Amino acid sequence: MNVIELFKFFIQSKSETPDDGGLLDFIENYLPDFEAIRIDIEDVKNLFLYKKFGDGDHLCFAGHVDVVPAGDGWDSNPYEAVEKDGFIYGRGTQDMKSGVAAFTQAVKEATAFNGTLSILLTSDEEGEATYGTVKVLEYLKENRMLPDSVVVAEPTCEDKFGDAIKVGRRGSINGYLTIKGKQGHAAYPEKAINPIHNLSKVLGDMAGVDIDNGDEFFAPSKFVVTDIRSGMQVTNVTPNELKMMFNVRNTTLTTQKEVTEFVDSHLKGLEYELRLTQGSYPFATDTDTKVVKTIDSAIESITGIKPKHSTAGGTSDARFVAQFGINVIEFGVKNDTIHSINERTTAKEVQDLHKVFKVLIDTWK
């Protein structure tokens, strides 16, 4: 198979989370010279393949084979890999079977490498990710097999292929706020404590406000209100309490401590309860590390473009990798139709991604 044939085969395998569509068995058999470790938990399938070529660093390519449901309204069967108007259409074309096909083929074609080369795959990235990549990393840590550098082949490019890599990601802090009041008659507001009125006095200084100033890689951590509700849906009773939810996509400059202090500084004197949860934590990979410099050079050699270093976007499994102290970056095809109807990419992008990964492997020193 060439990389496009492999890519189309992957698209035709229906692998909606946490189903792997049989792809992990296929990839294990496709790379027979690599040692295989399977870590399957409940319905989640995980595969780690590795081969030691020499005594140098351990470079790992990581990704997921699962996709979100296709949904209705496609112009073609989302699991047929239809070529039309210069594009290949199908669920997962961008997110991220293009990346998996590109690095699987590049690794298969590797004949020499200065170190250990590996692949980490899961069928649960689009879901809860509880039993996916993080479980493989835990196993690797216990067995002293953690890689030195990881490339996650998520779609990262913006306007043209090669224009951006991810060197970090923001975290995500969720807030659940309850402001207490005292229910009363609307005609006698002096006898009640109205939490809506109390919040309204400070909401303009909270909603959409930056908690920090950001830095060269991260935009500021912004306090984003996502829901406010209160009252009994009547006009003559003031509410007993108000509930508000918010989200902060936080940089490395802001933690739950700073969010708590931000809320307290505006609600001081009010009776309230605040609960915070955090699904992901921010990270930034040093741009002077080998993995960043080597992939920058590989991208430029294939595309003629020097990629920018970005931290934009939501979350990926790179967040788990970073928690283990591993230098991790993300690079893949353009990201403009992921999770959408008629998701698509071009054959050239997939071919060029394969070429970039081959150069990365060949020039890894």
Q: Enumerate the active-site residues.
A: 66, 125
CA dihedral 239, 210, 128, 96 (to 10 degrees): 140
* Token duo for residue 103: 């690095």
- The neighbour count for residue 232, using CB atoms within 10 Å, is 11
Phi, psi of 6 (to 5 degrees): -65, -45
Name residues whose C-beta falls within 8 Å of residue 123's C-beta, 6 or more positions apart in sequence: 15, 17, 18, 19, 20, 23, 24, 44, 45, 46, 64, 65, 66, 132
* Token duo for residue 106: 């590049």
Give the Cα separation of 47 and 103 in Å (integer): 14
DSSP-derived secondary structure for 303-353: HS---EEE--SS--THHHHHHTT-EEEE--SB-SSTTSTT-EE-HHHHHHH
Amino acid at the residue 88: I
- Contact predicate 103/61, CB 8 Å: yes
Q: Kindly give the interhelix angle for 3-12 and 347-362, rounded to the nearest 10 degrees.
A: 120
Give the Cα separation of 104 and 110 in Å (integer): 10
